[in-house]
């Protein structure tokens, strides 16, 4: 059984532009993406445009079963570098020429957006005509209007593409033009979904992560400045949605859908300036509230109590590493901070999921040993007991001892495990990313694999998911590579690319080098990133600018 509510239906023959919105990953992942749902609804606000969804591995739309070649504009959502392979597969299966140089004005205009497109369009630039750099609402209407105005005026494709050069936030591959990121000034200008698509299915592989939830976008950007994280630099400055507007959006969405569950979405939800008022207010309105993850330093017991009372079952946090390495990546969180949050979470009955990184700069064997000890200590905290439960546990222990005596059996001393929660770990290689201070760091797969091997051997019994060191290398090449990587991507359609070939194509950059993504101005200056890179070496901190500091990153200019 498979059914979708709230589809937007138009007659494809009665619109000027057919817009194919492609997600190059499976349905579950696509429909878990707030950005993908925003674009679908946002583009369909245009009366002359019909936006339909195409989701990998299909090259046909869900709405009308139309093949990709029937659309005027085909837009790929680039959330993850690993999806680049799927993009080429979709184009090939749809019989659309892979290379933009081989396509004519008779073919769809191929565009792409999302964080990967914004950070570094070069690896896909031989296949994509135009990249949207920044937030789609800030540029997409201008792009579609320009297409509609000029699509019949030219016979030469490059002349047609040149008409897009004056639109801020567009990188046109043919011209390798320098472009500034396009961002909304305020969240009041952002599009908020109040009538999301709801999937009803008995196939668990199709159920979105946030199934039967209203997705509430509380903010965009994060200014904490973690030195490995693109989200800390790409979309600055921080912009928050007004508290009352969030309540209004939630109520309107409930009226449209009947849903009573809300997932708070943002780069740093717990940094929202009125997060306690938000969670309490939504709870008072009768909503269950959840959030994908929270920052340790801004979590209070009050926030956790509110989230627990409103139905959140699993708390996701990211300690990242041991303390001295946290300081290097500008995450000045002590072990005491980590333990405080975990203790409060366990006391309140939360299950926990924790994310850690390996392969950080200056990380040595002793650091990995210390990391293993930290993870063991955290895992042992799942046996902590809520003080409110102590009395009932003691009574149960007394009854158990009495029964054991009467039956002649010895009592077991593991009654405390009755109140245990689950603690899961995810360990991932750190991938240097464009427009971050770590963009001048390389990727050492051999060291990564050795560290993973050590942790697997010494952390048996813990519930840990490890990302592959090999996959990390491929992601690094796709993330930080230049235009030449396109040849490797195309070749991957015909054969498996060896790890040796990926290693041979792994880039290496130093301060002062011209970088492939220098054509993209994301507002945070290169000079600021260089200063952050130097601070990383010494472990010097750059405090959060939302506390009233300004370090001249350039984003607010």
How do the domains of the chain map onto residue ranges?
Answer: 2-187, 212-400+414-480+524-547
| pLDDT computed for residue 412 by the predictor | 45
- Containing H/E element for 215? strand 214-217
CA distances from 538 to 323, 334, 534, 542 (A): 14, 17, 7, 12
3-state class (DSSP) for residue 521: strand
The answer to whether 240 touches 187, Cβ cutoff 8 Å, is: yes
Q: Which residues of 391-418 are buried (b: 16+ CB within 10 A; e: fewer)?
A: eeeeeebeeeeeeeeeeeeeeeeeeeee
Distance CA 294, CA 269 (A): 6
Backbone angles phi, psi at 239, to 5 degrees: -135, 130
Q: Which residues pair with 443 in a beta bridge?
A: none
- Report the CATH fold assignment for 2-187: Rossmann fold (3.40.50)
Please tell me the class of the 212-400+414-480+524-547 domain.
alpha beta
- pLDDT of 390 reads 43
Q: How many other CB atoms sit within 10 Å of the CB of residue 202?
A: 8
pLDDT value at residue 414: 43
What is the model's pLDDT at position 494?
Answer: 95
Residue stretches of the chain with pLDDT short of 50:
386-407, 410-416, 418-419
Q: Is the peptide bond before 57 cis (omega within 30 degrees of 0)?
A: yes
Instruction: Kindly report the three-state secondary structure assignment for every residue of 158-204.
Output: HHHHHCCCCCCCEEECCCCCCEECECCCCHHHCCCCCCCCEEEECCH
Asked if 119 and 435 touch (Cβ cutoff 8 Å), the reply is yes
Residue 78: per-residue pLDDT:
98
Q: Which of 458, 425, 297, 429 is nearest to 363 (CA)?
A: 429
Instruction: Output the pLDDT for position 417.
Output: 53
Please tell me the predicted confidence (pLDDT) of residue 416.
45
pLDDT, position 17: 98
CA 287-293-295 angle, 5° bins:
115
Nearest to 266 by CA among 431, 34, 31: 34
């Amino acid at each position: 059984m498979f059914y979708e509510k709230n589809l937007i239906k138009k007659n494809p023959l009665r619109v000027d532009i057919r817009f194919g919105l492609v997600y190059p990953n499976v349905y579950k992942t696509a429909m878990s993406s707030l950005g993908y749902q925003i674009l679908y609804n946002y583009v369909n606000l245009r009366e002359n445009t019909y936006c339909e969804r195409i989701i990998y591995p299909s090259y046909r739309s869900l709405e009308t079963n139309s093949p990709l070649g029937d659309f005027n504009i085909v837009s790929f959502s680039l959330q993850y570098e690993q999806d680049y392979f799927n993009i080429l597969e979709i184009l090939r299966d749809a019989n659309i020429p892979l290379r933009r140089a081989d396509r004519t004005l008779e073919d769809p205009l191929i565009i792409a957006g999302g964080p990967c497109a914004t950070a570094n369009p070069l690896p896909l630039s031989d296949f994509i005509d135009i990249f949207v750099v920044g937030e789609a609402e800030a540029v997409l209407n201008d792009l579609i209007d320009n297409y509609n105005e000029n699509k019949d005026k030219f016979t030469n494709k490059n002349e047609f593409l040149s008409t897009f050069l004056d639109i801020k936030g567009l990188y046109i591959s043919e011209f390798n033009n320098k472009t500034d990121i396009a961002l909304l000034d305020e969240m009041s200008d952002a599009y908020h979904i109040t009538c999301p698509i709801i999937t009803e299915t008995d196939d668990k592989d199709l159920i979105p992560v946030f199934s039967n939830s209203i997705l509430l976008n509380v903010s965009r950007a994060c200014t904490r400045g973690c030195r490995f994280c693109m989200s800390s630099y790409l979309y600055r400055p921080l912009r928050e949605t007004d508290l009352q507007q969030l309540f209004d959006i939630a109520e309107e969405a409930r009226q449209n859908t009947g849903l009573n569950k809300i997932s708070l979405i943002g780069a740093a939800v717990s940094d929202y300036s009125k997060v306690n008022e938000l969670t309490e207010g939504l709870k008072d309105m009768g909503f269950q509230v959840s959030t994908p993850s929270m920052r340790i330093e801004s979590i209070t017991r009050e926030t956790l109590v509110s989230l627990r009372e409103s139905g959140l079952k699993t708390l996701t946090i990211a300690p990242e590493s041991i303390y001295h390495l946290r300081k290097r990546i500008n995450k000045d969180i002590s072990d005491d901070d980590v333990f405080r949050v975990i203790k409060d979470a366990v006391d309140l009955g939360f299950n926990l999921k924790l994310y850690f990184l390996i392969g950080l700069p200056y990380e040595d064997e002793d650091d990995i040993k210390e990391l293993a000890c930290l993870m063991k200590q955290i895992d042992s905290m799942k046996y902590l007991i809520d003080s409110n439960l102590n009395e009932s546990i003691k009574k149960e222990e007394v009854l158990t001892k009495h029964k054991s005596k009467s039956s002649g059996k010895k009592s077991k001393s593991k009654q405390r495990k009755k109140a245990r929660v689950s603690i899961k770990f995810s360990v991932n290689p750190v991938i240097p990313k464009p427009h971050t201070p770590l963009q001048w760091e390389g990727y050492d797969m051999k060291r990564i694999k050795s560290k993973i091997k050590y942790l697997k051997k010494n952390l048996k019994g813990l519930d840990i998911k490890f990302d592959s060191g090999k996959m990390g290398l491929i992601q690094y090449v796709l993330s930080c590579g230049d235009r030449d990587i396109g040849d490797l991507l195309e070749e991957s359609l015909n054969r498996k690319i060896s790890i040796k070939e990926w290693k041979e194509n792994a880039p290496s950059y130093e301060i002062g080098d011209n970088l492939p993504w220098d054509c993209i101005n994301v507002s945070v200056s290169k000079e600021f990133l260089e200063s952050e890179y130097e601070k990383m070496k010494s472990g010097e901190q750059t405090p959060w600018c939302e506390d009233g500091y300004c370090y001249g990153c350039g984003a607010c200019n």
